[in-house]
Amino acid sequence: MAKPISIAIDGPAGAGKSTIARRLAKELGFYYVDTGAIYRTVAYFFDLWGISPKDIDGITRYIDELTVEIEYDEEGAQHMIMNGMDVTKDIRTQEISQKASLVSAHAIVRDMLLDMQRDVAKRHNVIMDGRDIGTVVLPKATVKIFLTASAEVRAQRRTDELIAKGEKANYNEILKQIQQRDYQDTHREIAPLKMARDSIKLDTSELDIDGVIEAMKKIIAEKVTL
């Protein structure tokens, strides 16, 4: 088999990475790897154990008790398996988002997860999204895209999403959380969120989903014959 194709999508929280990457993966027949879900699974594990995501001693002591696996169902949807349990739905809370951002700053956590991310890309054509895919996980990715939007637009999208689901949403509160996560993700010492030098920046502030997909396909088509 020829060397698999890898498309790395990095960017801040709420830029639409997962929605876009999932749809593109389906259209192209690639595996979609949501690496944020992997860090969320780790955060969820330590949360269950009552260990703070900042408590590096506790994390170091108990990390060997944790196993994380990625599985795909027949529809190609990614499932996160923590110690044999499917936690895919449990990790989608605001609290776990914040904790994942904090727990992901530790080298011991990032080191543990690096090979599993690279392994999927060795075996399959992938679209992988996260914060450090183009810089650390897949520095030789076939295509690298940095997806971004202003914090205000990202907060508004998140607010609309929650309201559409019938949930409570406070725009100012959400904006504050997004800004806090941006700060944490870009200022950590190891593998901070930053654009790879050979990445192409796409600002989605003024685009709808179809517009982003079209723009991404153009970028991809310049490097890959699909």
Q: Which residues bind ligand DC (CB under 6 A)?
A: 13, 35-36, 39-40, 97, 100-101, 104, 130-133, 181, 185
Q: What is the DSSP string of 30-87?
A: -EEEEHHHHHHHHHHHHHHTT--TT-HHHHHHHGGG--EEEEE-TT--EEEEETTEE-
Question: Residue 132 carries which side chain, given as an amino acid letter?
Answer: D
Q: Identify whether the C-beta of residue 165 lies closer than 8 Å to the C-beta of residue 226.
A: no
β-sheet bridge partners, residue 81: 69, 86
Least Å distance between CB 130 and ligand DC?
Answer: 2
Nearer to ligand DC, 107 or 224 (CB): 107
In the complex, the smallest distance separating the C-beta of residue 35 from ligand DC, rounded to whole angstroms, is: 4
Shortest Cβ distance from residue 100 to ligand DC (Å)? Answer: 4
Q: Which of 70, 64, 59 is nearest to 104 (CA)?
A: 59
- Residue carrying structure tokens 């090979």: 115
CB of 221 to ligand DC, least distance (A): 25
Instruction: Name the minimum Å distance from CB 104 to ligand DC.
Output: 3
Which one, of 25, 10, 20, 19, lies nearest residue 214 by Cα?
20
CB of 219 to ligand DC, least distance (A): 20
In Å, how far are 17, 207, 217 from 11, measured between CA atoms?
7, 16, 17
Dihedral angle sign, alpha carbons of residues 162, 164, 169, 174: positive
Nearest to 143 by CA among 197, 223, 225: 223
Which 3 state secondary structure label does DSSP give 162? helix
